[in-house]
Amino acid sequence: MGSTVGRVKANDGDEGENAEMKYRIVDGDGKEYLDIITDDITQEGVIVVRKKLDYESKRVYTVKVEVTNTHQDPNFFHLGPFSDTAIVKVTAKDVDEPPVFSRPQYVFEVNEDTPKGAAIGTITAWDPDATDYPIQYAIDQHTDPERLYHIVPKNGSITILKSLDREVSKWHNISVLACEMNNPHQRSRVPVLIKVLDVNDNAPEFAMFYETFVCENVKSGQHIQTISAIDTDEPLVGHKFVFSLNFLNPNFTIFDNEDNTARILTRRSGFNRREMSIYYLPVVISDSDYPIQSSTSTLTIRVCSCDATGNMRSCSADALLLSAGLSTGALVAILLCILILLMIVVLFSALKKQRRKEPLIISKEDVRDNVVSYNDEGGGEEDTQAFDIGTLRHPEVIESNKLRRDIIPEMLFPYHRHSPLKECADVRDFIINRLQENDIDPFAPPYDSLATYSYEGNGSIAESLSSLESTVTEGDHEYDYLSQWGPQFKKLADMYIGKDTGVAH
C-alpha cells in the first residue's frame, strides 16, 4: 500500500461503544489509483495511493466512498439501510522529476571501419514536468575509459572519436546521463549497448608454427607437411581459404585440399644438407570474403638425414634443438641462465679471496692516519721563522743557529758549512758557491724545497744610513771623514759639509 492521501470520517447517530465503521471505494475514475482503509482506533477512512499518480497526465482523481456500520440491530432494519456514500476528489501536485528517456536501453550497431566523426545513433529524453525544461546529455566517462565515443550535449547524437576494432572488443557498453539544464541535480541515466560489426580487414595466416623437415633421400612428389590457416575475422558463411605459391619453386610445390588445408610436396628427389640445410617456402593464403585479404607466410624446411623408412636421424644443430621442442626463445633463456651462474661463481670466488687478506685495520681502536703535507710556504707577516729578513742586512746571520722551515736545519749536518762571504765579496760567487755546496751535500733533503740566497754586501764602517736607526736627538755631526772614503762618497761629503757650512754662516 502506498502513502496516505487523506482521511474520511462518518458519524453514527447511535451512541455506543460497539459502533464499528467499514469504508470502501465503490466507483470513480481514481478507483485504479486510490484505495481506502479503516482506522480501528478513530473509525476513520484513510485514503492511500495504490498506483503512482501522474500530474502531467491527470491532475484530479475522483472516487465514490461508501461507509457501513458493521454492527446492526435487527430490530431497526425497517428504518432503512445503515450505510452512506460520499464523493471524494484527490488533486495531484506537481513535483520536479528527473528526465525520462524514450527507451529503457539503447542498442546501436556500427561497422568497425566506420570513419571518425560519424554518428551511430541518437539518445532522446524529456522533462516530464509541466515546465518541460531543455535536456543536456553527457557520457559517463567511467564507462568509456578509452574515450571512443562523444555525445552532442544538446541533441544527444553519439559520434565516434577513434577507430574501432572488432577483434579487440565486439561490444562497448556505455552510460548516457540526461539532466535538466535549469536544475542539473535532476538527472537520470540509460545504458547504451554498441555492437561492432565485423569487416574483412584481416588477412589469414598459418594456424601454428610448423617444424618441417625433408629427408636427404626423399623422392619426388612425397608429402612432407600439411598446413592450415586461421582468420580473426568472422564471415557470414564461414571461412574459405585458398593456398598457393607466389612463384614456381623448383624444390617444393603445394596442393590445396579445398578444406582450408594444403599439402606440401617435393618436386625433386635427393637433398644435400651440406649444400643447403634450410629452405624457405613462401605460401600465399587468401580468403573468400569481400574485400579479399591475403598474406604471405613463410614455411621453414630443414634438410635432415633419415633412415630407409623416412624417420629422421639427424639434422643441423638448429634442427635437432627444434625437434626436441626447444624454440629460439628457450635457447636464449638457457644460455642466459648459464651466463648468470658463471658470473655468480666468479663473484663468490673473488669474495672468498678478499676475505683471506689481512685487513688494514685489525681493530676499531687501531686507526692509522698518515698525512704528509709538502706545502710549507710560510705563515705570512706574523711568521718570523719562515723567512728572516735580517739576513739581507747582516750576512753574518747566515752562520747563526736559527731554524728554517723550508730547509732542513744545519745542526742536523755532521759537518760545518764555511761561509763564503769572508772568502769572496762578490755576489755572483757567493750564490754559485752556495748552489754547489747544496748540490754536493749528501744530506740534502730528497723533497723539493726553496732555498733563498740574498746578499746585500759586506759590513760598512759607516754602519746603517737608515733614518729609522738614527738617534732622535738633534746634534752636530762631523762629516769630514766622508772625504776619506774615496771618490764614491765625494759627492755625499760635499753635500753634507756644504750644508753644515751654510748653517754655520
pLDDT of residue 413: 44
Residues 46-71 have pLDDT tens digits of 989 888 887 777 888 899 998 887 77
Give domain status of residue 248, yes or no. yes
Instruction: Let me know whether 185 and 211 are in one domain.
Output: no
Instruction: Let me know whether 262 and 308 are in one domain.
Output: yes
Domain boundary among 43, 72, 91: 91
Q: Which residues pair with 314 in a beta bridge?
A: 305
pLDDT of residue 414: 45
pLDDT of residue 411: 46
Q: How far is CA 461 from the centre of its chain?
A: 92
Instruction: Let me know whether 172 and 209 are in one domain.
Output: no
Task: Tell me if 41 sits within 8 A of 82, measured CB to CB.
Answer: no
Residues 148-175 have pLDDT tens digits of 999 999 999 999 999 999 888 999 999 9
Domain boundary among 292, 312, 328: 328
Give domain status of residue 110, yes or no. yes
Residues 415-436 have pLDDT tens digits of 444 444 444 456 778 788 887 8
Name the least confident of 22-26, 109-113, 115-119, 456-460: 456-460
pLDDT of residue 470: 52
Domain boundary among 164, 197, 230: 197
Instruction: Let me know whether 239 and 154 are in one domain.
Output: no
Instruction: Let me know whether 254 and 177 are in one domain.
Output: no
Instruction: Let me know whether 222 and 313 are in one domain.
Output: yes
On the question of pLDDT at 504 being above 50, the answer is no
Residue range(s) defining the domain that contains residue 245: 205-328
Residue 369 vs residue 177, higher pLDDT: 177
On the question of pLDDT at 327 being above 90, the answer is no
Question: What mean pLDDT, rounded, does the chain reach?
Answer: 78
Give domain status of residue 361, yes or no. no
Phi, psi (rounded to 5 degrees) for 415: -120, 165
Supply the DSSP symbol for 13. S
On the question of pLDDT at 461 being above 70, the answer is no
**pLDDT-derived band at 94, boundaries 50, 70, 90:** confident
Name the least confident of 10-19, 231-240, 337-346, 443-452: 10-19
Give domain status of residue 491, yes or no. no
Segment 71-93 mean pLDDT = 76
pTM of the model: 0.45
Cell numbers given for 421: 762571504
Name the least confident of 12-16, 100-104, 367-371: 367-371
Residue 144 vs residue 469, higher pLDDT: 144
Instruction: Let me know whether 175 and 240 are in one domain.
Output: no
- CA-based torsion, 95, 98, 99, 105: positive or negative: negative
On the question of pLDDT at 343 being above 70, the answer is yes
Instruction: Let me know whether 216 and 303 are in one domain.
Output: yes
Closest CA to 409 of 449, 373, 382, 378: 449
Instruction: Let me know whether 283 and 261 are in one domain.
Output: yes
Task: Tell me if 127 sits within 8 A of 135, measured CB to CB.
Answer: yes
Task: Tell me if 271 sits within 8 A of 239, measured CB to CB.
Answer: no
Give domain status of residue 362, yes or no. no
Amino acid at 323: S
* Total domains present in the chain: 3
Phi, psi (rounded to 5 degrees) for 130: -65, -30
CATH code, domain carrying 222:
2.60.40.60
Give domain status of residue 40, yes or no. yes
Q: Which residues pair with 84 in a beta bridge?
A: 67
Instruction: Let me know whether 171 and 255 are in one domain.
Output: no
Supply the DSSP symbol for 436. H
Residue 491 vs residue 348, higher pLDDT: 348
Give domain status of residue 256, yes or no. yes
Q: In what order do the strands lie in the sheet with 261-266?
A: 205-206, 223-230, 261-266, 252-256
Instruction: Let me know whether 216 and 321 are in one domain.
Output: yes
Instruction: Let me know whether 297 and 321 are in one domain.
Output: yes
Task: Tell me if 204 sits within 8 A of 230, measured CB to CB.
Answer: yes
Amino acid at 375: N
Give domain status of residue 499, yes or no. no
